[in-house]
Each structure stands twice: as C-alpha cells, then as structure tokens.
Homo-oligomer: A and B are copies of this chain.
Amino acid sequence: MATIKDIAREAQVSISTVSFAINGTGPVAPETKKRIMEVIERLNYHPSSSARGLVTRQSGNICLYVPHPKSNIFTFHDNNLINDMLQGIGESIDEKNYNLLLAWEQNEDDDDASKMMSLVHTRAVDGILFFNPTRNYKPIYELIKLKFPFVFMGSFFDNEPIDTVDIDNFEAGYRNTAHLIKLGHRKIGFVSPGPLHYLLADDRFEGYKEALKDNNIRYNDHYFHIGDNRETSGVEALDRFLSLKDPPTAIVAGRDIQAVGIKKRAMACSLIVPGDIAIVSFENSQLAENHDISSIRTDLFSIGREASKLLFKMIGRKKERQTQHIIIPAELVVRGSCGGKQETSVEE
C-alpha cells in the first residue's frame, strides 16, 4: 500500500506538498499539483483514515444509533421507509465523504448506552444520529456534557437543548383527528403506534387529545388502545372498541400496519369502511397505498438527509450554536378509508 512518502518520492516533492495538494490546505504550483495527482493515480494512493484521524481528531464516521434493546432495531417502520431514511443519510454523508456506522445496544436495559459511549470515547465516530429515541432517554446528558455532536431523528425532546429533525407528530395526530371530526365524527378511537414512552407515540396521542379538546369532545379512556408493530394489535384494538356499548365510529390508527388490521377485521365483521368505521393513519407506507388507507406521509428521506446535514454543521462548528428543531412537512394523503372527498373504494 502506497503512503504519502511514496507519492512524495515519486513526484519529487516533500510530503507536506503532497498533503497540501490533496487537501487544498496550502499553496501548490499548478504543474506540481498535476504531477502529484498523476503519481497518486498511478500508485492508486488513498490516505490512511487512521493516520489522518489521529492528527485531525476526526474519524470520518458518523453513527446511526438505535437506542433500543435488540428486539426493536428498524422494526418500528416499514422497510421502504427505513430504506428512505438511509438514502437520505447517504446523500449527505457522500457529500461530506463520511462513512456510516450502525450501532445499537445488545443489552435489554433501556438506559444502557455502553456501546454508544464506547464509540464516543474511542473517537470512532464524530457525531451521532439517534433513531427513534424514547422519552427521558438519559444517556444523552453525558453527551451534552462532553459537547459531543448529536441529532435526534424521529421525535421531539421538549425543553432540552437538543437538536431534532422530525415530522411534527403532535401536529400530525391533531390533523388526523381533526380530519375525522370535520367529517362529522365525534366518537373517535386512538391506537398508539407503540408504548407511550416513545416520543413519537406520545406526541401523536397528545395531538389527538388536543384536537378533541379544541372541538369540545371529551376524551374517553375506553377509546384509547396501546398498539404495537403487528397487524394483530389493530385487530385487538377494534375488537375492544366494538365490545363497548357505544363504540367509536372512526379510528386514528397509530401506524399503517395497525390500520390494515383494523380494516381487515372490520370487513370480516361485515362493517363498511369508511361507512361504519372510518380510519386514518400515519406513515403512508406501501401498506397504506395497497389497502387504500388515508395516512400522513412521513418523509424519512428528508428526515435522514436534514438530520445528517445538521449533524455535519455541528461537527464542523467549534463555537456554541443555537439548538435547532427542524420540522419536516407531512401532509395527509386522503384515500378511501376515511370517507370525505374521495369515494370509498373496496380492495382485496
């Protein structure tokens, strides 16, 4: 493997000149530069990332970190959405010539962040992208103390100087609910996309409640169900709602897969969607399209891209900066599951 010395010798210059030529950090005569570049090409030289990292104190890596116990990595979203997010990150790391390190904790303990902290302390990464963190996720305070760059993706952390990029889940929950109210519904169920300590879940839920309040509808605890990432959680939710003496006429599903479960179950019970039961959801994944479900578009590509862009700004910067909360727009894609503008459609 060629080193900078080999290049210097072959090009008959000093190693500092080679370094200047490569990085543009010093003046180099055009002919000299040309000669150096030719030798670099010929010897297929690439600077060692370790050597460079040692002196620049930058690893050239950022970390995509999933602060969940092992069972949950990447299962919180549809496959294509994860792909979108990676593409978004990919776009900006390519621009910066950075690499992406993927990390998570094997331990089931929620606040164990040993893997992440080890990455930080060994300086294996220059910044961290947090994917879908939980509320009150404590390990970040250590990062704040170290002034280590990080950005939260996929949720909002209130009252803390933490940079975030996300859709506004509160607003989305509000919008979905308001949409159903505008269509005449007053009895509206809500299925959370997951446990409420996930910010994303809680925010959607809060938005739902706020919309009810603004429309003088009293929140009814029986209309609330905690779901998860399986279709059956939608089925269970509907079953529970239908067992009530006064069941809801519309449901805000926490995520598309739940909406699918709800819709299938409703149809199996000979209920008309949206006639008997209207459904709106979040994500707008392939599932929503396939099953004709109205859903709020979650643009994970933009979230990934903006989050990494923001992270790079922090990595470059030495002086303090204002924390930023970047909100990615998220519109409701109206389909047949909630009635209203479009006519109902049947599928399957």
Cross-chain contact B73 with A122 (CB below 8 angstroms): no
**Taking CB as reference atom, which chain B residue is nearest A80?**
B75
> When the two chains form their complex, are residues A91 and B79 in contact, meaning their CB atoms are under 8 A apart?
no
Copies of this chain present in the complex amount to 2
Chain B residues with CB under 8 Å of A57's CB are 50
A45 and chain B: residue at smallest CB distance: B121
Best-buried of A102, A103, A264 by chain B (most CB within 10 Å): A102
Q: Does A94 contact B (CB under 8 A)?
A: yes
The residue of chain B having its C-beta at the shortest distance from the C-beta of A94 within the complex is B106
Is the Cβ of A100 less than 8 Å from the Cβ of B99? no
> Across the interface, which residues of B come within 8 angstroms of A268, CB to CB?
348
Q: Are B90 and A82 interface neighbours, CB within 8 A? A: no
Q: Are A122 and B46 in contact (CB under 8 A)?
A: yes
Which residues from B are CB-within-8-Å of A78?
A: 79
**Distance, CA A271 to CA B71, complexed state (A):** 38
Contact yes or no, A75 B64, CB < 8 A: no
Question: For the complex, what is the distance from the CA of A215 to the CA of B74, rounded to whole Å?
Answer: 43
Task: Determine whether the beta carbon of A46 is less than 8 Å from that of B100.
Answer: no
- 5 A-B Cβ contacts within 8 A? A49-B53, A50-B50, A94-B106, A94-B115, A99-B119
